[in-house]
Amino acid sequence: MKDLGAPALFRLQQMQKKKRPRKPNPHLGPPLKCADRLREIMTRHYYLSRFVKGAKPVAWVTSGAPVELLRVFDFYTVYPENHGALCGAQKLGPEICSKAEDRGYHPDLCSYARIDLGHAFSGKTPAGRLPRPDLLFCCNNICQTVLYWYKELSHYWDVPLIVFDTPFNFKDIQESDIRYMVSQFEEMIPRLEKISGRKFSDKRFKKIISLGSEASLTWGRVLATMKHSPAPMTIFDAFVHMAPVVSLRGLPVSLDYYRILLEELEDRVEKGIGAIAKEEKRLMWDNIAVWFKLRDWSLLFAERGFNFVAATYTNAWAETIHYLNPESPFESMARAYSLVILNNNMDHRLKLMEGMIRDYRIDGLVILSLRSCKPYSVGQYDIRRLLGERLGVKTLVIEADMTDFRTFSEEQIRTRLEAFFEQLEE
């Protein structure tokens, strides 16, 4: 199936796509050649998930969870947030969210959660079919919503839920916090052995830690190529190409892909090939992508010579990965997963953004105030003010949801963007 079925499906999709060729846009640079390889990888991932039940145990995992531990037990992992992004990009967010709302879930609940619950209730998905989980694996380092969301799924499907609790880092991480998180990992192992029917292997665990670390470090090097001017890709590209580091972290395919992508980007840097035709200003994005507007906004900004070259969101999968060490897997994993941007104090976030603005030579910052993600959006107006005072960077705050466009105001946001463009051109 994996050697014949998935490649055949991909070739069919490519044939269908060739019937509707997209005209090249004069404001964009040449498309990335490895985009086809990415599409093949992710198509294969979702395609195989339809048939995995009975062959492997299945785990649904939150994006910030320490998946390396699950890889030891050969779980096939599905990421509802990644699936939510796919639904958003396909403009199916409102339709699937409404399935959850019909069951009484509030429209102000995170749209990733509503999509996931709506899919559970209706089976609606652009991926064909998702496998029912044998395990729900949740980490609260990104928000508390995921905990209640996964509790709902656990109750609905009557499947076990394992929660990795990461204490919030108010100032400096404490050794007692590390011991607490390590003890959780140790307690998980017997449960994971029972659910999966497989034994824990310390040797395999260290190998997976090393593999996952190298893939994430390579992703960091991919993002760093955008420090060059012209940048060889945009953040709109990075939002798409981050899929393997989120969904396939700890597997060889993720590392292999980012080596291919890095090689292509370094070649573009050497040849002076930019992601947009004429890079006049360099921008930074804060928060999750607005998936249903990716292409529209990539063209809108490119037409003016504005290129997004950095984002706190894409950086999150590279920021703390240097902590991972196969020689001390539990301790290093505790640090790597508990010190991510959303589980850290506001001063850390401000310093991180200041460093990125300097390193990527940022002219303007677009901050998305996201109704679906309160932890990511809290404090943004203070951050905007402080960055403006300290660095003089031009800033804009816009409001939207990442997948649910029922609350999206095209006219209002376009007015704000036009005012921002005028500031940048002064």
Q: Report residue 138 as tokens.
A: 């949740």
Mean pLDDT, rounded, of the chain: 93
Residue with tokens 């200041």: 354
Q: Whole-angstrom Cα distance, residue 107 to residue 413?
A: 21
CB 390 within 8 A of CB 308: no
Check residue 106 and give its pLDDT.
Answer: 95
> Given a cut of 50, is residue 90 above it in pLDDT?
yes
Check residue 18 and give its pLDDT.
Answer: 52
Q: Is the pTM of this model over 0.85?
A: yes
CB 85 within 8 A of CB 126: no
> Given a cut of 80, is residue 19 above it in pLDDT?
no
Q: Report residue 235 as tokens.
A: 């953040």
Confidence tier at 11 by pLDDT (50, 70, 90): very low
Region of 167 please: left (phi>0), alpha (psi -120 to 50) or beta.
Answer: beta
Q: Whole-angstrom Cα distance, residue 86 to residue 71?
A: 23
Check residue 6 and give its pLDDT.
Answer: 47
Q: Report residue 85 as tokens.
A: 């992004």
> Given a cut of 60, is residue 242 above it in pLDDT?
yes
What confidence tens digit (pLDDT) does each residue in 392-417 have?
999 999 999 999 999 899 999 999 99
What confidence tens digit (pLDDT) does each residue in 27-57 have?
999 999 999 999 999 999 999 999 998 899 9
Q: Whole-angstrom Cα distance, residue 23 to residue 25?
A: 6
Check residue 76 and give its pLDDT.
Answer: 97
- Collect all residues with Cβ–Cβ distance below 8 Å to 273 and sequence separation of at least 6: 29, 30, 230, 232
Q: How far is the CA of 176 from the CAs of 135, 309, 316, 335, in angstroms?
A: 28, 38, 24, 12
Q: How far is the CA of 372 from the CAs of 146, 149, 263, 405, in angstroms?
A: 12, 13, 36, 12
What confidence tens digit (pLDDT) does each residue in 271-320 have?
999 999 999 999 999 999 999 999 999 999 999 999 999 999 999 999 99
- Collect all residues with Cβ–Cβ distance below 8 Å to 294 and sequence separation of at least 6: 89, 236, 239, 240
Confidence tier at 22 by pLDDT (50, 70, 90): low
Q: In degrees rounded to 5, what are phi and psi of residue 399? A: -120, 130
Average pLDDT over residues 311-335: 95
> Given a cut of 50, is residue 266 above it in pLDDT?
yes
What confidence tens digit (pLDDT) does each residue in 163-176 have?
999 999 998 899 99
How remote is the C-alpha of 311 from its chain's centroid? 11
Cα-Cα-Cα-Cα dihedral of 311, 314, 320, 324, to 10°? -160
Q: Report residue 225 as tokens.
A: 């190529």
- Of 321 and 8, the one with more pLDDT: 321
The strand pairing partners of 161, in sequence order, are: 136
Check residue 78 and give its pLDDT.
Answer: 97
Check residue 311 and give its pLDDT.
Answer: 98
Check residue 24 and give its pLDDT.
Answer: 75
- Collect all residues with Cβ–Cβ distance below 8 Å to 220 and sequence separation of at least 6: 318, 321
